[in-house]
């Protein structure tokens, strides 16, 4: 039996970076013929935007890249996510620290920095929330690089 791999994207609000990361990973998996092989979701470490749609600027940015993320709704990272997902990929080092603190001791999910998977030489996806469309574009490019890294790792069977 082959188990479906689970990848959870996590940021502070789940309205900017992680919804774009979720959307672009689903798209890149589909393009690689791996659609349906990986369960992808996203969540927030903060609680301010639970139930909200992605930020309009994130929706517009993803749309410019042919990806529709408008139907996503923000949800909180919860304890059972750490067993429900194999990889919990965090948008920056603050999120990584917070997520690792919340991981139950017995849980198996691997909590990592999203950009570790990207091949770009940086650690954090800068938060575009207080920025403009260019900041969203920069964040999109980074999460796209990470998504391509995830696809590559799956192709190589490195799990």
Quick check: 18 and 140 in contact, CB under 8 A?
no
11 touches ligand 4NP (CB under 6 A): yes
Q: How far is CA 22 from each of CA 7, 41, 105, 134, 158, rounded to the nearest angstrom?
A: 9, 6, 26, 20, 20
**Smallest separation, CB 8 to ligand 4NP (Å):** 14
* 11 classed as catalytic: yes
Query: Which backbone phi and psi does 8 adopt, to 5 degrees?
Result: -115, 125
- Span near ligand 4NP by CB under 6 A; candidates 12-20, 30-38, 79-87, 148-156: 12-20
12 touches ligand 4NP (CB under 6 A): yes
Nearest residue to 21 (alpha-carbon basis) of 149, 153, 126, 144 = 144
13 touches ligand 4NP (CB under 6 A): yes
- Strand-pair partners of 5: 38
* 17 classed as catalytic: yes
**Smallest separation, CB 41 to ligand 4NP (Å):** 14
Quick check: 8 and 41 in contact, CB under 8 A?
yes
Structure tokens that stand for 119 in this block: 């091949």
Q: How many helices (H) and strands (E) are present in the chain, helices listed first?
A: 5, 4
23 touches ligand 4NP (CB under 6 A): no
* 61 classed as catalytic: no
**Smallest separation, CB 39 to ligand 4NP (Å):** 21
Restricted to residues 46-105, the positions that interact with ligand 4NP (CB under 6 A) are 48-49
Residues that bind ligand 4NP (CB under 6 A): 11-17, 48-49, 127, 129
Just list the catalytic residues. 11, 17, 127
């Amino acid at each position: 039996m082959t188990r479906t791999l689970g990848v959870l994207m996590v940021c502070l609000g789940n309205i900017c970076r992680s919804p774009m990361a979720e959307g672009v990973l689903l798209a890149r998996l589909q393009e690689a013929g791996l659609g349906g092989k990986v369960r992808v979701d996203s969540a927030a470490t903060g609680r301010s935007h639970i139930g909200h749609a992605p930020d309009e600027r994130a929706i517009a940015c993803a749309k410019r890249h042919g990806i529709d993320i408008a139907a996503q709704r923000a949800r909180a990272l919860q304890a059972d996510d750490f067993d429900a997902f194999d990889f919990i990929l965090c948008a920056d080092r603050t999120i990584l620290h917070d997520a690792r603190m919340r991981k139950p001791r017995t849980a198996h999910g691997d909590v990592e920095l999203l950009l570790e998977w990207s091949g770009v030489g940086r650690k954090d996806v800068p938060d575009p929330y207080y920025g403009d469309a260019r900041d969203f574009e920069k964040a999109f490019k980074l999460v796209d690089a990470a998504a391509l890294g995830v696809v590559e790792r799956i192709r190589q069977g490195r799990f």
